[in-house]
Amino acid sequence: MEYFSHETAIIDEGCTIGKGTKIWHFSHIMPGCTLGENCNIGQNVVISPQVVLGSNVKVQNNVSIYTGVTCDDDVFLGPSMVFTNVINPRSAVNRKNEYAKTHVGKGASIGANATIVCGHNIGDYAFIGAGAVVTKDVPPYSLWVGNPAKQLGWISEYGHRLQFDKDGNAECPESKEKYKLESGKVSKIG
């Protein structure tokens, strides 16, 4: 076994777990999940059947990741955040064949207690603030806060707010990488 699993964690059959991944206290990895290399799964996390996590995904304590969710490499899921997978759940109505898909792009961060309503994608390096309720697609490099979540601005791959000049250019204060804002989309240019 090339990963670590605390003795209280439950890992169901049919899971693929990458080298260097750590699964902590009271977490449950359900059948058919794929976890990449060097992931960190905090305490009391539920990862439902068929969920796919890339490499170096950090899942903080008390997170629920439901069937239909995929996360690319380097995603951060903050404490107690949750994904949904059915738009109109009812206890007496079985909707397991109606799970909506949600994709979280490379390097995105989702803050503590945020909720991602199913069927909406989170773009690469997007940043969702603590407590936000996401009800629509989130573009790459965008910063979203509130309930319902609204875009507040743009953010670098290092997690800093980007301030664009009149020509649509910005620089990350930490990495010095440069970004371009054109037609409502941000791309890294250096």
Overall number of domains in the chain: 2
> Both 129 and 173 in a single domain?
no
Phi/psi at 69 (nearest 5 deg)?
A: -95, 135
Residue 1: the pLDDT is 73
Can you give the CATH number for the domain in which 118 is found? 2.160.10.10
> Both 6 and 75 in a single domain?
yes
The pTM (predicted TM-score) of the whole model is 0.96
> Both 127 and 184 in a single domain?
no
User: What tens-digit pLDDT sequence spans the chain (190 residues)?
Assistant: 799 999 999 999 999 999 999 999 999 999 999 999 999 999 999 999 999 999 999 999 999 999 999 999 999 999 999 999 999 999 999 998 889 999 999 999 999 999 999 999 999 999 999 999 999 999 999 999 999 999 999 999 999 999 999 999 999 999 999 999 999 999 999 7
> Both 55 and 135 in a single domain?
yes
Over residues 107-125, the pLDDT tens digits come to 999 999 999 999 999 999 9
Surface-to-core class of residue 166, CB atoms within 10 Å of its CB (0-12 exposed, 13-18 middle, 19+ buried): exposed
> Both 101 and 190 in a single domain?
no
> Both 110 and 69 in a single domain?
yes
> Both 151 and 170 in a single domain?
no
DSSP assignment letter at 136: S
The whole domain housing 176 covers 163-190
> Both 9 and 70 in a single domain?
yes
